């Protein structure tokens, strides 16, 4: 091999998306210490990110505008973060429920985001064919509703950041109970540190109402497009839980409630 003295050129598959730069203090996302994403270090417990989206933040207000613009013009590719400043990107920790309007979008790009969760309404993006949340290192799980995106065939996810990933096998957060009561709670304003999402618009499986006295929360790992994702199911009944498909090989193959559960060996073992 001849050394020409020229630096290597690395293609950026997403061209105009924001790329994190280390060593320059222009920080536009927060550090995540939920678990070590570089080496296997078994921990007894992990939890959900508890922070809520600030609806007054400029980045959030601009994101709402961008969703409406994309819905109005019927665009097929949606890259909202490139329209935000670094500080505005840092202010966005989820997507709004209004993404349900983006039925024409085929490619959703969230490269390098500060997201900690996605809303169940992503399941309404029925035209979605490609999903790119790559280097979103605080995004550890996905709503089961994403399986409603039947055309989704390609994904680029930082798998080391996922609960139960095959490389490191970090644990899953332990879910509240096998039949949790929502009595006295506002289902549109829940504690994400306890429940994961901030709202339950309906059953993840059948889309029916979630009874206040009988929420069934479980984890299941399924292949969604290119990647195996840890999916949080918010079911209305044990019947809906029983109807879930089997999990994938080399992961926990049944629905479970997180916490101290046996996982297959990591790829490091």
Q: What was the pLDDT predicted at 210? A: 85
Cα(187)–Cα(212) distance, integer angstroms: 9
Q: What was the pLDDT predicted at 215? A: 86
Q: What was the pLDDT predicted at 186? A: 77
Q: What was the pLDDT predicted at 25? A: 45
Q: What was the pLDDT predicted at 267? A: 73
**Of 137, 80, 84, residue with least CA distance to 107:** 80
Q: What was the pLDDT predicted at 17? A: 54
Profile the chain (269 residues) by mean pLDDT over runs of 10 residues: 40 50 57 86 82 97 98 97 96 98 98 97 98 97 98 97 94 83 78 93 93 87 97 94 93 93 82
What is the value of pTM for the model shown?
A: 0.89
Q: What was the pLDDT predicted at 144? A: 98
For 130-135, the CB contacts below 8 A with 24+ separation are: 130/106, 130/154, 130/155, 130/225, 131/107, 131/155, 131/156, 131/157, 131/225, 132/14, 132/107, 132/108, 132/156, 133/157, 133/158, 134/14, 134/158, 135/20, 135/111
113: its two tokens: 């985001």
């Amino acid at each position: 091999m001849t050394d020409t003295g020229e630096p290597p050129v690395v293609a950026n598959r997403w061209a105009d998306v924001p790329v994190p730069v280390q060593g320059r203090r222009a920080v536009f996302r927060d550090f995540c210490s939920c678990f070590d994403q570089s080496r296997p270090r078994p921990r007894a417990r992990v939890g959900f990110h508890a922070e809520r989206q600030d609806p007054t933040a400029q980045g959030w207000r601009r994101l709402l505008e961008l969703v409406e613009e994309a819905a109005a013009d019927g665009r097929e590719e949606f890259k909202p973060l490139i329209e935000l400043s670094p500080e505005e990107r840092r202010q966005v920790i989820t997507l709004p429920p209004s993404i349900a309007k983006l039925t024409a979008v085929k490619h959703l790009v969230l490269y390098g985001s500060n997201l900690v969760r996605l809303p169940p309404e992503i399941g309404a993006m029925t035209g979605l064919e490609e999903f790119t949340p790559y280097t979103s290192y605080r995004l550890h799980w996905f709503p089961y509703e994403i399986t409603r995106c039947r055309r989704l065939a390609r994904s680029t996810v930082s798998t080391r950041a996922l609960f139960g990933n095959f490389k490191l096998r970090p644990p899953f957060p332990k879910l509240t109970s096998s039949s949790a009561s929502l009595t006295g709670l506002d289902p549109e304003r829940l504690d994400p540190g306890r429940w994961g999402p901030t709202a339950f618009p309906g059953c993840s499986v059948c889309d029916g109402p979630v009874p206040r006295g009988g929420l069934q929360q479980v984890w299941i790992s399924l292949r969604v497009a290119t990647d195996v994702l840890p999916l949080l199911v918010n079911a209305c009944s044990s019947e809906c839980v029983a109807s879930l498909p089997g999990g994938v090989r080399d992961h926990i193959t049944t629905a479970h409630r997180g916490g101290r559960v046996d996982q297959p060996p990591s790829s490091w073992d």
